[in-house]
Structure 1
């Protein structure tokens, strides 16, 4: 595993936990919802370079809005 890959995984886990708290769901439930909507593979990981520079509240709001647009029921 490269250092970049490790950072992407760490960031993804961090973000999933923050979103889970906001949604009042477990991290595993949140991951399943995000993964089913392809948000992890099509947004969080590919855009890591930009996303990791944003604040936590902004990230959670962005993920929540994207999830709603992709039909995720919170």
Structure 2
């Protein structure tokens, strides 16, 4: 849970949107359950910048981030 909250706040700062908006984007696109939670073991070993870059690219690929 702490990891997810940390990540949402990092994405919020990078995307310049509220944390609740980031949560909505990740949740509605399936990224939260199917990637962040499912791949926690790998993701938590990355630096914050790498995670933001990775999730931003995935969100763009899914069409939920411009």
- TM superposition score category, shorter chain reference: over 0.9
TM-score under structure 1 normalisation? 0.86
SS at match of 1:33: helix
Query: Is the contact between residue 4 and residue 36 of structure 2 (CA under 8 Å) also seen in structure 1?
Result: yes
Aligned length: 66
TM-score under structure 2 normalisation? 0.95
The gaps in structure 1 that reach 5 residues or longer are 1-8
The gaps in structure 2 that reach 5 residues or longer are none
Q: Does 1:14 align with 2:6?
A: yes
Taking the TM superposition and a 5 Å limit, the aligned residue runs for 1:1-74 are: 9-74=1-66
Q: Following TM superposition, by how much is the alpha carbon of 1:73 offset from its aligned partner in structure 2, in angstroms?
A: 3.0
Larger radius of gyration: 1
